[in-house]
Amino acid sequence: MPLLTQIETPALVLDCDQLDANIQRMRNKLAAFNVVLRPHVKTNKSLEVTERLFAGGRGPITVSTLREADFFFEAGFTDILYGVGVAPNKFALAAALISRGAQLKLVLDNLDTARLLVEFAQATGHVFDVLLEIDCDGHRSGLSPQSPLLVEIAQLLSANGLRLSGLMTHAGKSYDSQSITQIQACARQERAAVIDAGQLLTSAGFNLPIISVGSTPTALFTEDLSGVTEVRAGVFAFFDLVMAGLGVCQVQDIAVSVLTTVIGHQAEKGWIITDAGWMALSRDRGTAKQAVDQGYGVVCDAAGNPLGDLIVSATNQEHGIISSRSGVLDPLSLLPLGTLLRILPNHACATSAQHAGYHVFSEGRSLDYWPRIAGW
CA 68 → CA 223, 252, 342, distances in Å?
A: 31, 29, 28
What CATH code is carried by the domain that includes residue 133? 3.20.20.10
Of 29, 5, 7, the residue nearest 214 (C-alpha): 29
Would you tell me how many other CB atoms lie within 10 Å of the CB of residue 339?
15
pLDDT single digits (tens) 313-372: 999 999 999 999 988 777 667 899 999 999 999 999 999 999 999 999 988 788 899 999
What CATH code is carried by the domain that includes residue 309? 2.40.37.20
Q: Give residue 140's pLDDT.
A: 87
pTM above 0.85, yes or no: yes
Burial 82-96 (b: 16+ CB within 10 A, else e): bbbbbeeebbeebbe
* 83 in the same domain as 215: yes
CB 315 within 8 A of CB 205: no
* 292 in the same domain as 214: no
Instruction: Examine the pLDDT at 174 and tell me if it is beyond 90.
Output: yes
pLDDT single digits (tens) 249-295: 999 999 999 999 999 999 889 999 999 999 999 999 999 999 999 99
Domain final residue, candidates 235, 270, 295: 235
Q: Give residue 364's pLDDT.
A: 74
pLDDT category of residue 2 using cuts at 50, 70 and 90: low
Task: Give the separation between CA 314 and CA 289, rounded to whole angstroms.
Answer: 16
* 107 in the same domain as 63: yes
Range of the domain at 147: 33-235
Tally of structural domains, the chain = 2
Residue 10: asked if its preceding bond is cis (omega within 30°), the reply is yes
pLDDT single digits (tens) 64-106: 999 999 999 999 999 999 999 999 999 999 999 999 999 999 9
* 180 in the same domain as 132: yes
Of 144, 142, 157, 131, the residue nearest 197 (C-alpha): 144
* 363 in the same domain as 278: yes
